[in-house]
């Protein structure tokens, strides 16, 4: 079974500051990744999103990569073979963004990837979320205040993945769930894995240890 992945990127203005976002429909929960650069282009951010998504998976993984960028999808499925045959050149000169293209080619070759173009801003939840994450990455690259998502995240509007055998679901309020999802995305793991690791750490620390750590953090912050 293929894991569905959404990747998106963009710049405002183009060229200029940009961001990329990735949404992975992992069986254990939604995984979200994002980042940005202060000086880049729209196409480079689109390519970076796909690269970061593929880097998340081990070699041999079966993935369906959904992108709203014809540039990315056609580069891999239609144009890249000819470029490689000509020494990474097009009919008019060197391939643009060759560093990212070669990295994308190497990652895709080591995985079973089905590339799917989706229409942007057409209401597909994963694509919309990846777009918002790209905007978040751009704002963070610029050091701007991070705004909350304008719409609920997919996990709040779509059925959550079924819990794994031997696990128990834990309810979180919306604000805490958003913080966990963001932190898990930055760590490159699923929210479920992030919560499990936090729970293990809390059990190791014991209530007294947690109180001591919290007091130390408050002391440093004051």
Known active-site residue 99: no
Find out whether 112 is annotated in a ligand binding site: no
Q: Kindly name the residue from 26, 32, 37, 68 that is annotated as catalytic.
A: 68
Known active-site residue 46: yes
Q: Kindly name the residue from 8, 26, 32, 128 that is annotated as catalytic.
A: 8
Q: Which residue from 25, 20, 12, 46 is spatially nearest to 117, judged by alpha carbons?
A: 46
Known active-site residue 196: no
Which residues lie across from 7 on neighbouring strands? Answer: 22, 67
Known active-site residue 9: yes
Q: Which residue from 169, 173, 126, 118 is spatially nearest to 151, judged by alpha carbons?
A: 126
Find out whether 12 is annotated in a ligand binding site: no
Q: Kindly name the residue from 26, 32, 46, 128 that is annotated as catalytic.
A: 46
Phi, psi of 177 (to 5 degrees): -60, -40
Q: Kindly name the residue from 9, 18, 36, 137 that is annotated as catalytic.
A: 9
Q: Kindly name the residue from 60, 121, 166, 175 that is annotated as catalytic.
A: 121
Known active-site residue 12: no
Known active-site residue 112: no
Q: Kindly name the residue from 32, 37, 125, 131 that is annotated as catalytic.
A: 131
Q: Which residue numbers belong to the known binding site for Mg(2+)? A: 8, 46, 68, 131
Q: Which residues are annotated as a binding site?
A: 8, 46, 68, 131
Annotated active-site positions, please? 8-9, 46, 68, 121, 131
């Amino acid at each position: 079974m293929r894991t569905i992945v959404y990747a998106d990127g963009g710049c405002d203005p183009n060229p200029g500051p940009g961001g990329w976002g990735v949404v992975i429909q992992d069986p254990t929960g939604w995984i979200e990744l994002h980042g940005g650069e202060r000086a880049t282009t729209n196409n480079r951010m689109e390519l970076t999103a796909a690269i970061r998504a593929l880097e998340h998976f081990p070699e041999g993984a079966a993935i369906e990569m959904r992108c709203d960028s014809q540039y990315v999808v056609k580069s891999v499925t239609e144009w890249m073979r000819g470029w490689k045959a000509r020494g990474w050149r097009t009919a008019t000169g060197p391939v643009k963004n060759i560093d990212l293209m070669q990295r994308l080619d190497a990652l895709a070759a080591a995985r079973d990837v089905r590339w799917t173009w989706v229409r942007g801003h057409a209401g597909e939840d994963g694509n919309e979320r990846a777009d918002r994450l790209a905007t978040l990455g751009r704002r963070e690259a610029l050091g701007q205040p991070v705004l909350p998502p304008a719409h609920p995240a997919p996990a709040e509007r779509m059925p959550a993945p079924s819990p794994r055998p031997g696990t128990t679901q834990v309810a979180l309020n919306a604000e805490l769930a958003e913080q966990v999802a963001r932190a898990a995305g930055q760590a490159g793991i699923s929210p479920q894995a992030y919560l499990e690791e936090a729970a293990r750490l809390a059990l190791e620390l014991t209530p007294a240890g947690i109180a001591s750590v919290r007091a130390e953090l408050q002391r440093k912050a004051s």
